[in-house]
Structure 1
Amino acid sequence: MRLITLFLLLLLLAIQYPLWLGRGGWLRVWDMQKQVTSQHQRNAELKQRNLKLEGEVRDLKEGTGAIEERARYELGMVKDDEGFVQFVAPAPKTSETPLPPPAAVQPNHRH
C-alpha cells in the first residue's frame, strides 16, 4: 500500500511539472503577461509622442507660425523691428551681517 501511495505521489509530481515549469506553464504565462503589460504601456507612450510629432509636422507644413516659434525659442532669433530683452532671476542675497574676522592663530608654546 505504501508503494502505491509513493508511486501515485511521484506520478502527481510528474504531471505537475509541465503545468508549473514546462513550456506554456504558469510561470511562463505569468512572465509573458508582465511583458505584454509593459509593452502596452510603452506603446501608449509612443502613441502620445507620435501624435505630438504629427502635430508639429502639420504645423510646419501648413504655416510659418511654427517655424517662427522654433526660430525664436530654439535659435534666439528676432525680427528686424524687434529688440531682444532677457530677464534673469536676481542672485540670492547674502547674509547682511558681516562675518567676524578669523581668530588669530596662537602659537602653541610648550613650557
Structure 2
Amino acid sequence: MKWLAAALTVALILLQYRVWFSADGVREVERLQRAVATQRADNEQLAERNRQLAAEVRDLKTGMDALEERARSDLGMIARNETFYQVVPARAADSSHPPTRTAAAR
C-alpha cells in the first residue's frame, strides 16, 4: 500500500509540474487568452469598418445624394447650370523682388 501511495504521489507531482512549468502549461494558456482578447478587439474594429463600408455602398447604389457628393469631392465635377468659382489665396510678399512704386508712395 505504501508503494501505491508513493507512486500516486510521484505521478501527481509530475502532472503538476507539467501543468505549471511545461510549454503547454498555464503560462501558454494565459498567453493564448491574451492573444484571443487582442484578436477579438481587432475583429470588432474591422467589423465596424465593414459596417461603415457596407452603408456607404448602399448609399452609392440607391441614393443620388451620396453619388453626387462623391463625384464633387473626389472628381471635382459640377452640375449643369452651376458656376464654379475658385478662390486663390494671395501670395505672400516675396523678399527677392523689391516692392514696386505705387501712387501713394509718390
Give the alignment's TM-score, normalised by structure 1.
0.60
2:36 maps to 1:29: no
Identity of aligned pairs, percent? 40
Distance 1:46 1:84, change over 3 A: same
CA apart distance, 1:23:
5.3
CA apart distance, 1:66:
1.2
Give the Cα separation in 2 of the matches to 1:93 and 1:25: 72
CA apart distance, 1:87:
4.6
| SS of alignment partner, residue 41 of structure 1 | helix
1:76 aligns with: 76
Partners of 1:78 and 1:84 within 8 A in 2:
yes
1:57 aligns with: 57
Distance 1:45 1:22, change over 3 A: same
| SS of alignment partner, residue 84 of structure 2 | coil
1:47 aligns with: 47
- Name whichever structure is richer in helix by fraction: 2
Give the Cα separation in 1 of the matches to 2:17 and 2:92: 68
57-66 or 20-29: bigger deviation: 20-29
Distance 1:34 1:86, change over 3 A: farther
Question: How many residue pairs were aligned?
Answer: 85
Partners of 1:21 and 1:28 within 8 A in 2:
no
CA apart distance, 1:86:
4.0
CA apart distance, 1:40:
0.9
Unmatched runs of 5 consecutive residues or more in structure 2: 1-8, 95-106
Provide, for residues 5-43 of structure 1, a one-character-per-residue CA deviation record: whole Å limited to 9, x for no partner.
xxx9xx84x444312233541111111011111111111
CA apart distance, 1:62:
1.2
Provide, for residues 73-103 of structure 1, a one-character-per-residue CA deviation record: whole Å limited to 9, x for no partner.
1111111211223456677789xxxxxxxxx
